[in-house]
Structure 1
Amino acid sequence: MKSSGSARFGLGETVRHRDAAFRGVVIDVDPVFAGRIGQTGKISPDQPFYQVLALGEDGGFIAYAAEDALEHDPEFTILSSNDRQRWFNVDADGRHSPKAQALH
């Protein structure tokens, strides 16, 4: 079992689900699973979990995913440049933050 430590991904980083379920931007981090018991299935709840604003051609949704299920996505191309400017501030490192929330 993985011990809870520092999170691999920070707010505003672009990630993709390892099973290609979605791609998106990290908008919140929990040091360990913060859902209901029984929701994790075979994934250990003793690791960081992320709220990801998952985006696609049909809009977006909030996904809640374990760190083990995510990987960095430096080629995140789902966002058009118009959407990026409309919804996010992007810093020099390429991290995204919703316009209504500053990066920590």
Structure 2
Amino acid sequence: MIGKSVATATPAGAALPGIKAPPIAHARFAIGDVVRHRLFEFRGVIFDVDPVFANSEEWYEAIPEDIRPDKEQPFYHLFAENAESSYIAYVSQHNLVRDDSEEMIDHPAIDGLFDSYADGRYRLRREHRH
């Protein structure tokens, strides 16, 4: 083949020499699940999932070292609430547990993304507007 280059393919999942593949993290929770923090008194509904840490280094370093989570795990965006307020939280999988209270989350942004609540989960709207 004159004038054409031939590329070689690496089989899916095969590591390239000298390159270490990161571990594959599996999300334990899904969008719409209601969860609570295992250390702090708040709960929330998941509205987005990052397969690994995807926030700023400044945010990460602000977490006390003795409770700072590993970056190589799923991180969840939550419409969160505690006894005083509603807010958005970013939490590692290690720090979340399923909330089995069957109580709805009282967050003003929920209605914009979810349309119903049943069996401990919120259901995404078929379409939403910004």
TM-score range, shorter chain: 0.7 to 0.9
Give deviations 1:66-103, integer Å, cap 9, x for gaps: 000000002142646xx7xx82423654321465867x
Counterparts of residues 1-104 of structure 1 (less than 5 Å): 3-37=23-57, 39=60, 41=65, 42-56=68-82, 58-77=84-103, 79=105, 87=111, 88-90=114-116, 92-97=118-123
Higher relative contact order (CA 8 A, sep 6+): 1
Q: Which runs of 5+ in 2 are unaligned?
A: 1-22
Greater Rg over alpha carbons, structure: 2
Query: Which runs of 5 or more structure 1 residues have no equivalent in the other structure?
Result: none
Percent identical pairs in the alignment equals: 35
Task: Give yes or no for contact 2:27–2:74 (8 Å, CA) kept in 1.
Answer: yes
Q: 1:66 corresponds to which letter in structure 2?
A: S
Aligned length: 98
